[in-house]
Structure 1
Amino acid sequence: MPRRSSPPRLERDRKRPSEGNWYIYWTEGRRSREHSTGTGDRDQAELYFAEWKLRRFRPERAVEPHEFYVADAISHYLAKRLDDVTDPERLANAAKPIIRFFDGYSVGDINDALIKEYCQKRRKGRGDKGLKDGTLRRELSLLSTAIRRAEEDQLITRKIAVRLPPKPEGRIRFLTCEEALTLIRVSRSFDSPLQDGVPTESKTEHLTLFLRIGLLTGQRKEAILSLRWSDIDFDSNIIYWNPIGRRRTKKERPSSRLPARLRKYLLRRRRRFPEDEFVITHRGKSLQNIKRAFRTAVVAAGLETDGDRKVVPHILRHTCATWLMQKGAPKWDACGFLGMTLETLEKNYGHHHPDHQRGAADAI
């Protein structure tokens, strides 16, 4: 009886598993086959693997879902999307547990029972810490989108529905003024090393500026880290968060007024590092993430690092929106400043506004 063909999989070189390159292994009929990715880096190997499968295994016509592997659908989607998203690492990380669990399954095998088994296994794998529904929803949304993309690109004849966990309630934790000041203060408290008797850039000096920009503009982490000096018009006091030539995403980035309280900090940074292209840099280099430095400051400030009140960079946006409402800012002005819809503002932050339900309360 002929050996059943198996889908290609990525493994470390079986002859040198501790130090070799990553290889693609699969079987066709009675023969085992292998192909080197030419790299020992797992992330680069994953990208090569996805592109290799697209070149070698793309069907000449759309096939039935039971003839198309889930891993191939995910690989196809990643190859199409990784270069277009603002956070490719997050997308790739969401795909890894999907690929591991559904290895060997076809798209046609997906049903409610299999999705339930996936959710149970993922929750069990996290032990006592558990796995939040939001994480499961994000992972399974990727699976659903990959299947839909496979149908749109005529790889499969029809899509298969993926039932998602219920959408969790949004986490609207915000910082009080005292908490925000403490966070900024501890970010400035790390000693600057001396070089030839002159203080150099401190370990978390860039974090202090990041905190101030986040609190005073309410923009997302990615927008702040990608902000260039050329995007700031100091004469007109306008920040262009979405300049011409930047790739557009579904996350709106408005042009916003430069707050006077922030302007002086930006000008000070500009004078200190006139050669930098980006506003947030460390030792002259732009940053892709600020998670580690942010967590260090959160711990030093005695703020929460776990649970529903966990303090993460996105809380700076929640804080700015909340403060605007508490100060009674006109809602349309706040929406334009934050790049947020009126519906989202009213739903999540409107109750902080001094005029919230005032008419009803006064009428009672």
Structure 2
Amino acid sequence: MRERAKSHGTMRRELGVLRAALNFAHSEGRLIYVPPVLLPPKTPGKDRWLTRREAAMLLNAARTASGPVRLYLPLFILMGLYTGARKSAILSLRWPQIDLENGLIDFLPPGERQSNKRRAKIPIPNKLLGHLKRARYRGSDLDYVIHRDGKKIDDVKHSFASACIKAEVFEVTPHTLRHTCGTWLAQQGVSLFEIGGWLGQSNERTVELYAHHHPDFLTNAKQALEGRQF
């Protein structure tokens, strides 16, 4: 199923590029008309998120892993759960982007521009701050926050999957941590506007993913209908 989803996404991207090229050719007068290019519908997003118990089990599995994995994977998981940042943003994060004194993380590297996948600047939750301060002593001023012997880790896919198997949590990927963060925030009644700001994503996408987890989801509509007399 994962391979089908991947090929489906690739097809959408390729057809999108084709449609853009045809539109450009038409605007340049190279085509008399633009032939229609129909994109396949978007695949529905997975609503898999971790319960508090599952998150604790996964974190414990990472902490008790053998070898150097236990030095970086627990911190990666904690950062995913507390910040909701994407995997690439966490793995590319360097210590100069973290202000431990004022408790701030800027996931956008200095000198880089925001892309469609926005990188947020957020305050550090107190429970994460202590872990980051301890991790800071193991690195240098310019090192990557998540590292192996000071070197950047390109991916945590295999070590993360091993921890999931050990913790017996299934259908979970590193991206699940981001979705878990957003879901927990919604379940605690945080406004969708703030959730979008925390995760660095559009309001439309935030509503699509997390509105149904919010305790006030459609409450006004329900109450309005309950007050109607038929």
For Structure 1 versus Structure 2, the TM-score category normalised by the shorter chain is 0.7 to 0.9
Q: Secondary structure at the match of 1:204?
A: helix
The number of equivalent residue pairs is: 221
Query: Which residue of structure 1 lines up, in the alignment, with residue 162 of structure 2?
Result: 296
Structure with more helix by fraction: 2
Give how far 1:149 is off.
6.3
**C-alpha distance in 2 between matches for 1:277 and 1:311:** 28
Counterpart CA distance in 2 for 1:130 and 1:297 is: 20
- 1:357 alignment counterpart: 218
Q: Does 2:78 correspond to 1:212?
A: yes
Q: How do 1:269-280 residues align onto structure 2 when only pairs under 5 Å count? A: 269-274=135-140, 277-280=143-146
SS at match of 1:256: strand
Amino acid at match of 1:359: N
C-alpha distance in 2 between matches for 1:346 and 1:249: 20
Q: Which residue number in structure 2 is paired with residue 135 of structure 1?
A: 6
Bigger CA radius of gyration: 1
1:23-34 to 2 correspondences below 5 Å: none
Correspondence list, 1:247-326, <5 A: 247-274=113-140, 277-304=143-170, 310-326=171-187
Deviation (angstroms), 1:131: 4.4
Cα deviations by residue, 1:44-74 (Å, 9 ceiling, x for unpaired):
xxxxxxxxxxxxxxxxxxxxxxxxxxxxxxx
1:344 aligns with 2:205: yes
Q: Give 3-state SS (helix, strand or coil) of 1:337's partner.
A: helix
User: Residues of 1 paired with 2:19 and 2:38: CA distance?
Assistant: 13
Note if contact 1:276-1:284 (Cα within 8 Å) is conserved in structure 2.
no
The 3 A distance-change label for structure 1 pair 356 and 286 is same
Provide, for residues 7-45 of structure 1, a one-character-per-residue CA deviation record: whole Å limited to 9, x for no partner.
Answer: xxxxxxxxxxxxxxxxxxxxxxxxxxxxxxxxxxxxxxx
Task: Render the CA deviation track for 1:309-358: whole Å, top value 9, x for unaligned.
Answer: x2111111110000001111133222211112222222221122222223
Q: Could you tell me which residue of structure 2 aligns to residue 163 of structure 1?
A: 38
What secondary structure sits across from 1:174 in the alignment?
coil
Q: Distance in 2 between matches of 1:223 and 1:130?
A: 23
Q: Distance in 1 between matches of 2:3 and 2:40?
A: 12
Q: Is the 8 A contact 1:325 1:353 kept in 2?
A: yes
Deviations 1:169-224 (A, max 9, x none): 111210000000100000011245xxxxxxxxx33321111000000011111111
| Residue in structure 1 matching 2:189, options 328, 333, 336 | 328
Residues 139, 145 of structure 2: 8 Å contact kept: no
The answer on whether the counterparts of 1:147 and 1:160 sit within 8 Å (CA) in structure 2 is no
Structure 1 residue runs without a partner (length 5+): 1-128, 193-201, 305-309
**TM-score with structure 1 length normalisation?**
0.55
Residue 177 (structure 1) aligned to one of 47, 52, 60: 52
Q: TM-score, normalised by structure 2?
A: 0.85
> Alignment partner of 2:137: what SS?
helix
Residue type matched to 2:116 in 1? K
The answer to which structure, 1 or 2, has the higher relative contact order (CA under 8 A, 6+ apart) is 2
Alpha-carbon spacing, 1:341–1:248, altered in 2? closer, same or farther (3 Å)? closer
User: What secondary structure does 1:340 align onto?
Assistant: coil
1:235 shift after superposition: 2.3
In 1: Cα distance, 2:20 partner to 2:190 partner:
42
Give, as a single letter, the amino acid of the residue that structure 2 aligns with 1:357: L
Amino acid at match of 2:98: I
- SS state of the match for residue 174, structure 2? coil
Query: 3-state SS of the aligned residue for 2:93?
Result: coil
Structure 2 residue runs of 5 or longer lacking an equivalent are none
C-alpha distance in 1, partners of 2:99/2:219? Answer: 39
- Give the structure with the higher percent strand: 1
Instruction: Mark the CA change 1:140 to 1:177 in structure 2 (over 3 Å): closer, same or farther.
Output: same
Q: CA–CA distance in 1 between the matches of 2:12 and 2:157?
A: 24
Query: Is the 1:136–1:165 contact (alpha carbons within 8 Å) kept by the matching residues of 2?
Result: no
Looking at structure 2, the residues matched to 130 and 243 of structure 1 have their Cα atoms a distance apart, in angstroms, of 31
Residues in 2 aligned to 1:131 and 1:213: alpha-carbon distance in whole angstroms: 28
3-state DSSP of counterpart to 1:239: strand
Structure 2 match to 1:66: none
Structure 1 counterpart of 2:61: 186
8 Å contact 2:49–2:176 — kept in the other structure?
Answer: yes
Aligned amino acid, residue 12 of structure 2: S
Residues 97-136 of structure 1: pairs in structure 2 closer than 5 A: 131-132=3-4, 134-136=5-7
